[in-house]
Chain A
Amino acid sequence: AQKVTQAQTEISVVEKEDVTLDCVYETRDTTYYLFWYKQPPSGELVFLIRRNSFDEQNEISGRYSWNFQKSTSSFNFTITASQVVDSAVYFCALSEEEYGNKLVFGAGTILRVKS
């Protein structure tokens, strides 16, 4: 079974729309970490956020916000007032204590923001 599921393969929005990228994970560990990365057309993965399993507080950073819900095993990412520069592939990833520092990635969501 896939440990990290990003069900949305591709999303297209118009600039200034809000958009939410879904991430559902699966683990039996009580200690784990969740990550979001952005991959712009240049190819390099850019780290966005890390969240540990004991911290369910939502986080906001500028136009970005993250909603972590252990009850539904989800770690969703919302971009408010999207911009063309937000166009990228976004990856959600999981690191479990049992497996050390290894990351398991979802398949990624392609976000296209049109002007």
Chain B
Amino acid sequence: DVKVTQSSRYLVKRTGEKVFLECVQDMDHENMFWYRQDPGLGLRLIYFSYDVKMKEKGDIPEGYSVSREKKERFSLILESASTNQTSMYLCASSFRTIQETQYFGPGTRLLVL
């Protein structure tokens, strides 16, 4: 079974704090993704990575950065958290080719006060 884990299920942070969200997958997938989910908007892609140390911007990268130092681990960084980054964050991974299914972690609910 594919396993994607995320470091926290719930996080509460203050405005201006630096926030790290971690994601680990155990299936040797090349691709990893970070999405945010907001009511009525579905999931929107923030960043993705198709290899170690490689990253590409998704649809809403502003205010975020990512790091992929090892194949199994993909980190999302909020450099200076703001209240409009309160959301559900979902990590996913897949093999590289287009038809491959993305498998998701349990999500992190982030509240920025």
Contact A91 B97 (CB under 8 A): no
Q: CB < 8 Å: which of B41, B100, B105, B106 contacts A101? A: B100
What CA separation (Å) do A43 and B87 show in the bound complex?
12
Contact A108 B101 (CB under 8 A): no
Total residues of chain B contacting the partner, CB 8 A: 30
Contact A31 B98 (CB under 8 A): yes
Residue ranges of A at the interface with B (Cβ–Cβ < 8 Å): 4, 6, 9, 31, 33, 35, 37, 42-47, 50, 52, 91, 93, 95-97, 100-103, 105-108
Please give 16 more A-B residue pairs, beta carbons under 8 A apart, in addition to A35-B101, A43-B109, A103-B102: A4-B42, A9-B40, A33-B99, A43-B9, A44-B105, A44-B106, A45-B104, A47-B104, A52-B99, A95-B99, A101-B100, A102-B45, A103-B45, A105-B35, A105-B43, A107-B42
Q: Which of B60-109 contact A (CB under 8 A)?
A: 88, 90, 92, 94, 96-107, 109
Q: What chain B residues lie within 8 Å of A106 (beta carbons)?
A: 42
Contact A50 B99 (CB under 8 A): yes
Q: What chain A residues lie within 8 Å of B45 (beta carbons)?
A: 102-103
B25 at the interface (CB under 8 A from A): no
Contact A97 B98 (CB under 8 A): yes
A107-B90 contact, Cβ under 8 Å, with A44-B105, A50-B99, A102-B45: no
What CA separation (Å) do A95 and B42 show in the bound complex?
15
Contact B99 A91 (CB under 8 A): no
Can you list 9 contacts pairing A with B, beta carbon distance less than 8 Å?
A42-B106, A47-B102, A47-B104, A50-B99, A95-B98, A101-B50, A101-B96, A102-B58, A107-B42
